């Protein structure tokens, strides 16, 4: 292994689910033009990439697949400490789905200098498919360690503690390796005025299918989204008050009795 | 359309059974066989169990699995079975390991994939499915080409048992690839055996609970209300105060009790998706702007540390 770790981190500029608004009548959410931000777990992935570099040396390259506006996520990754950033974009692809993203990420890491460690979020905040990490690893023919909560870099590879529903596993794999993380792995640092200023001066490299040897036709989306809607649940919204906690408690219990949900 | 089977796979037999029952329930096979894939050893009771869940065929990769078959190994082994069985559809469980296998299998086969699928049906020549989107805030209806595809289903929905059919076991020859991952350690996580999906009443706590020592107070309330205890992600995944079977939300369990009491829970969208099916929601939060209060039938702006003891007194629990 080279002493100079090539660390990559994939960041998605996804829909900001806290800011989307549904049509009050139909519940339909318009995703076109919806506010966007860096997908939550990707900030943990960037933080982890930067921590690995701080401990073991190397360079951190952030990569995003999307329209030119995805530069915002890359700009944030730079402000959080990434050294370089690459945007994969292509006006001929109407929408990057899971397959296109996995192919573009794999081809970009492979072509632009290769990688030892590729970090991703274990699921994106808006789509939450949880498959891009494994699919990229499959495309690249390398191991993927998913749902990692603790990551240690050794000379030849990584040791990762990962959290499944019913067990914790400690796994190891040699470089090159793909690792996916969730919010428990770390607390991302907050960009400072200086780090933002520094990031704003860096150039974000832009590539398309030709630069990474992919036919654009292999990126065409497979599925069609027919409708995204928020299920409408009407709640009574009754505020309960009382002159004392005891009075409030009795009031609540009497409501629950009236509703037939207790005892 | 391809006349091959619907092929169900999970390394956890209970989940494979659920996938088989679901396939019958949703009439996904349209006359073609319903099959289960088994990778490596075939436990003696498994054919009987799978037949009782509705399997007509078992495709078994007759080879010895490596000591630790990580997701990449499972996916490559499953791909061998898929090439032999030529299924119209491969169904897996949308668990963490399940999604990892799906991602790898998708890379190997280049078939369309979707995870977190709650509904799936045939619509003319296409597959139409429903999955949660926007962190569970919304439901996305998606159309896929009608050819072979890989879908991972949200489990825990438990459709009824299917009729039992005569079972054919088909041995597939091939070998497991070597594992790229070594397992150094494995620890089961404690679980209290709680099953929140079927609970009638749930008292959930969030980070408004200040310390672990305060959990007995919440448990006492739950007992008095004849309720199970739930929690938010941070209390299970970060603090480790609760095992995962208490965790409610997008990445935890989906519940639909008659009564849901949320104490010191902010109401992030990823939590709300887990409890949206509740009939009556009571929220207790000291911050009048907490989103959970806007999602409640009875909203109480109060300190849980004064309200819970008062509730215990009102319920006659000795303090
Ligand atoms: C992809 C993804 C998946 C996720 N999956 C899940 C999931 O499955 N489940 C889940 O729960 N979360 C999930 N989360 C996390 C979620 O976004 C929130 O961070 C989490 O739900 C917050 O937990 P909380 O309400 O306990 O804590 P906080 O948000 O910190 O809220 C604590 C609340 O307690 C109130 N409070 C404090 N003290 C008191 C008191 N004395 N009395 C009354 N109220 C008090 C505060 O006002 C506050 O509203 C996920 C996040 C992501 C990005
Ligand atoms: N368009 C994208 N650009 C870069 N990375 C992405 C993109 N989409 C998904 N990813 C990465 O893949 C992870 C899992 O995404 P998903 O499979 O959509 O849940 C995310 O947390 C990102 O790290």
Exposure string of B281-291, with b = 16+ CB inside 10 Å and e = fewer, is: bbbbbeeeebb
CA distance A197 to chain B (A): 32
Q: Would an 8 Å CB–CB cutoff place A239 in contact with chain B?
A: yes
Whether A140 lines ligand 2, by a CB cut-off of 6 Å, is: no
Confidence label for B192 from pLDDT (cuts 50, 70 and 90)? low
Question: Which atom of ligand 1 lies closest to the CA of B304?
Answer: 42
Share of chain B above pLDDT 70, in %: 99
CATH code of B6-172, in short, is 3.40.50.620
Tell me what pLDDT residue A1 has: 46
Q: Would an 8 Å CB–CB cutoff place A235 in contact with chain B?
A: yes
Of A156, A212, A149, A141, the residue nearest A179 (C-alpha): A149
Q: Would an 8 Å CB–CB cutoff place A249 in contact with chain B?
A: yes
Tell me what pLDDT residue B1 has: 59
* Average confidence score pLDDT of chain B: 94
Q: What residue ranges of chain A have pLDDT lower than 50?
A: 1-2
Tell me what pLDDT residue B191 has: 73
How many C-alpha atoms does A213 have within 13 Å on its Cβ side? 6
Question: Which atom of ligand 2 lies closest to the CA of A119?
Answer: 23
Q: Give the residues across from A150 on adjacent strands.
A: A161
Of A127, A171, A237, the CB nearest to B133: A127
Tell me what pLDDT residue A73 has: 98
CA distance B96 to chain A (A): 6
> Is the bond into A176 cis (omega within 30 degrees of 0)?
yes
Whose CA is closest to atom 23 on ligand 2? A120
Is-contact A39 A11, C-beta < 8 A? Answer: yes
Q: Which of B36-40, B188-192, B269-273 has the lowest mean pLDDT?
A: B188-192
Is A235 close to B112, i.e. CB distance below 8 A?
no
Q: Which residue of A has its CA nearest to B312?
A: A249
Angle between helices A71-79 and A193-201 (to 10 degrees): 130
Whether A186 lines ligand 2, by a CB cut-off of 6 Å, is: no
Tell me what pLDDT residue B199 has: 95
Q: Would an 8 Å CB–CB cutoff place A132 in contact with chain B?
A: yes
CA distance A180 to chain B (A): 10
Of B95, B102, B281, the CB nearest to A235: B281
Dump pLDDT digits (tens) for B100-157: 999 999 999 999 999 999 999 999 989 999 998 898 889 999 999 999 999 999 987 7
The C-alpha atoms of residue B259 and residue B203 are separated, in whole angstroms, by 8
Q: Separation of A25 CA from ligand 2 center, angstroms?
A: 32
> Is the bond into B291 cis (omega within 30 degrees of 0)?
no
Q: Which residue of A has its CA nearest to B100?
A: A134
For chain B, the helix, strand and coil percentages under 3-state DSSP, each to the nearest 5 = 30, 30, 40
Exposure string of A52-62, with b = 16+ CB inside 10 Å and e = fewer, is: bbeebebebbb
If 0-12 CB within 10 Å is exposed, 13-18 middle and 19+ buried, where does residue B160 land?
exposed
Is B301 close to A159, i.e. CB distance below 8 A?
no
**Interface ipTM:** 0.91
Q: Would an 8 Å CB–CB cutoff place A212 in contact with chain B?
A: no
The C-alpha atoms of residue B102 and residue A249 are separated, in whole angstroms, by 49
Contact list in A for residue B106 (CB cut-off 8 A) is 98-99, 102, 131, 134-135, 138
User: Which position has the token pair 């006349």?
Assistant: B3
Is-contact A62 A80, C-beta < 8 A? Answer: no
The C-alpha atoms of residue B28 and residue B119 are separated, in whole angstroms, by 11
Residue of B71, B107, B304, B313 to mutate when probing chain A, most A C-beta within 10 A: B107
Q: Is the pLDDT at B94 greater than 60, yes or no?
A: yes
Q: Is the pLDDT at B186 greater than 70, yes or no?
A: yes
Whose CA is closest to atom 4 on ligand 1? B270
Dump pLDDT digits (tens) for B4-58: 999 999 999 999 999 999 999 888 888 899 999 999 999 999 999 999 999 999 9
Residue of A178, A225, A262 to mutate when probing chain B, most B C-beta within 10 A: A262
Of B107, B139, B187, the CB nearest to A231: B139
The counts of H helices and E strands in chain A are 6, 13
Q: Would an 8 Å CB–CB cutoff place A32 in contact with chain B?
A: no
User: Which position has the token pair 């990580």?
Assistant: B70
Distances from the Cα of A21 to the Cαs of A33, B85, B192, B201, in angstroms? 11, 45, 39, 31
Contact list in A for residue B238 (CB cut-off 8 A) is 184
Q: Evaluate whether the domain defined by B196-314 bears CATH number 3.40.50.300.
A: no
Q: So where are chain B's domains?
A: 6-172, 196-314
């Amino acid at each position: 292994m080279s002493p100079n770790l090539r660390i990559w981190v994939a960041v998605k500029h996804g829909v900001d689910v806290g800011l989307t608004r549904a049509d009050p009548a139909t519940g339909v959410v318009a995703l076109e033009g919806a506010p966007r931000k860096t997908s939550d777990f990707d900030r943990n992935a960037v933080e982890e990439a930067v921590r690995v570099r701080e401990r073991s040396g190397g360079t951190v390259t952030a990569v995003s697949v999307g329209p030119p506006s995805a530069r915002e996520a890359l700009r944030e990754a730079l402000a959080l400490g990434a050294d370089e950033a690459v945007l994969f974009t292509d006006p001929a692809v109407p929408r990057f789905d899971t397959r296109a993203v996995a192919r573009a990420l794999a081809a970009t890491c492979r072509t632009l200098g290769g990688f030892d460690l590729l970090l991703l979020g274990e699921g994106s905040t808006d789509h939450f498919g949880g498959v891009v990490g494994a699919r990229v690893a499959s495309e690249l023919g390398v191991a993927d360690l998913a749902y990692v909560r603790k990551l240690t870099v050794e000379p030849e590879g990584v040791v990762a503690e990962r959290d499944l529903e019913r067990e914790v596993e400690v796994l190891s794999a040699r470089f090159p390796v793909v690792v996916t993380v969730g919010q428990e792995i770390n607390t991302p640092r907050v960009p400072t005025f200086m780090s933002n200023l520094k990031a704003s001066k860096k150039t974000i490299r832009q590539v398309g299918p030709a630069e990474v040897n992919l036919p654009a036709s292999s990126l065409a989306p497979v599925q069609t989204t027919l409708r995204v809607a928020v299920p409408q649940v009407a709640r009574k919204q009754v505020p309960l008050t009382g002159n004392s906690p005891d009075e409030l408690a009795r009031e609540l219990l009497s409501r629950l009795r009236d509703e037939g949900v207790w005892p | 359309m391809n006349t091959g089977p619907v092929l169900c796979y999970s390394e956890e037999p209970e989940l494979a059974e659920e996938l088989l029952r679901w396939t019958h329930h949703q009439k996904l096979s349209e006359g073609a066989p319903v099959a289960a894939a088994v990778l490596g050893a075939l436990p003696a009771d498994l054919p009987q169990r799978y037949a009782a869940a509705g399997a007509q065929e078992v495709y078994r990769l007759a080879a010895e699995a490596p000591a630790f078959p990580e997701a990449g190994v499972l996916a490559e082994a499953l791909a061998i079975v898929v090439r032999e069985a030529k299924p119209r559809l491969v169904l897996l469980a949308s668990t963490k390991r399940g999604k990892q296998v799906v991602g790898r299998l998708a890379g190997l086969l280049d078939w369309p994939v979707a995870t977190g699928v709650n509904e799936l049906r045939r619509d003319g020549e296409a597959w139409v499915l429903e999955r949660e989107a926007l962190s569970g805030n919304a439901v996305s209806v998606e159309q896929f080409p009608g050819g072979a595809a890989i879908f991972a289903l949200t489990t825990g929905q438990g459709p009824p048992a299917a009729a039992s059919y005569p079972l054919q076991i088909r041995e597939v020859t091939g070998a497991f690839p070597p594992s790229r991952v070594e397992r150094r350690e494995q620890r089961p996580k404690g679980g209290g055996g709680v099953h929140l999906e079927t609970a009638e009443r749930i008292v959930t706590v969030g980070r408004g609970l200040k310390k672990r020592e305060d959990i007995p107070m919440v448990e006492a309330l739950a007992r008095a209300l004849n309720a199970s205890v739930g929690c938010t992600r941070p209390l299970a995944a970060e603090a480790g105060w609760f095992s995962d079977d208490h965790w409610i939300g997008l990445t935890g369990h989906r519940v639909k009790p008659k009564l849901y009491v949320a104490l010191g829970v902010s109401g992030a969208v990823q939590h709300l998706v887990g409890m949206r099916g509740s009939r009556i929601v009571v929220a207790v939060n000291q911050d009048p702007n907490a989103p959970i209060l806007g999602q409640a039938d009875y909203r109480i702006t109060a300190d849980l540390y004064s309200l819970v003891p008062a509730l215990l007194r009102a319920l006659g629990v000795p303090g």
